Amino acid sequence: MGERLYAPSPKEVLITYSRCDQMIAQIKERRCEMKKVIFMAGLMVFGLALFAGCASVQTWPDYERSAENKMVVIQERIGDGLKTGALTPDQSQMFLTTLKGIRTDYMGLRDKRVYRDEWDKLLGRLDALGDEINRALGRPARIEEPRNGDRIVALQRRIDDGRINGRLSMPEARDYQARLDSIRSDYLRMTEGGRSTTYEERADISRRLDSLEADLNRYR
């Protein structure tokens, strides 16, 4: 005679199914917890990487160009304010002295490996100086043609946009950036200390900006 097979009672079957359901629910709950842990760990890694990028010691070329742009515009505002009488000689001298101090600190940071907050502080000082000049001017003088400083800032934005959206290849972006950096450097030198540029100097800067702008227009 063969062995008699054990047949569980209906109650035992229900208990077994209930236990299986509990185990499955526990497994799902653990999986959900693991996903949360993995997600939180990913956020922590991303946050640490972002913090490390901000806190790391390195060069910041984009911040350098932003500072140069702001200094160009500020110098033009001081010069225009003095010429139109919107700023007194004492006010102009005060603003130029402040700008000179910021420029000295800028030269100390340029091409140096520093923390990003050093550049943030310098840009904040330039913004504060620009706001103070704007308040002293009251209302900017009406100028029909865009000033060279404003054109430099606008062309910088176009180069940055072209690099980001892919309209400019990397070699093209580097070439245009080098040309604009050269123009900006020459213009800063011409207007340093609030010096008024000559007609020939303004014409040369304007001609070089026209050439660069014409080349960039091909990529619209």
User: What's this model's pTM, rounded to 2 decimal places?
Assistant: 0.55
Per-residue pLDDT, averaged over 59-87, amounts to 88
Burial 141-164 (b: 16+ CB within 10 A, else e): eeeeeebbbebbbebbebbeebbe
The verdict on 126 and 201 lying in the same domain is yes
- Domain that residue 19 falls in: 8-56
Let me know whether 47 and 132 are in one domain.
no
Tell me: pLDDT of 30 over 90.
no
Cα(69)–Cα(66) distance, integer angstroms? 5
Which run of H or of E encompasses 71? helix 61-84
Does a structural domain hold residue 185? yes
Q: Are residues 22 and 72 in the same domain?
A: no
Residue 3 within a domain: no
Question: Of the ranges 14-28, 68-82, 101-115, 163-177, which one carries the lowest mean pLDDT score?
Answer: 14-28
Residue 43 in contact with residue 68, Cβ under 8 Å? no
Same-domain pairing of 166 and 186: yes
- Residue at 1 is within a domain: no
Are 80 and 44 in a shared domain? no
40 and 118 assigned to the same domain: no
- Helix, strand or coil, per DSSP, at residue 36: helix
- Long-range contacts, 106-114 (Cβ 8 Å, 24+): 106/64, 106/67, 106/68, 106/71, 109/64, 110/64, 111/59, 111/64, 112/59, 113/57, 113/58, 113/59, 114/57, 114/58, 114/59, 114/60
DSSP labels for 146-195?
Answer: PPHHHHHHHHHHHHHHHHHHTSS-HHHHHHHHHHHHHHHHHHHHHHGGGP
Q: Is the pLDDT of residue 79 over 80?
A: yes
**How many independent structural domains does the chain possess?**
2
Residues 83 and 187 in one domain: yes
**Which two three-digit tokens encode residue 37?**
């842990």
| Assigned domain for 175 exists | yes
Q: Between residues 133 and 21, which one has the greater pLDDT? A: 133
Banded model confidence at residue 123, pLDDT cuts 50, 70, 90: very high
Distances (CA, A) of 2 to 6, 9, 147: 12, 21, 106
Torsion of CA 131, 136, 141, 147, to 10 degrees: -40
Asked whether residue 138 is assigned to any structural domain, the reply reads: yes
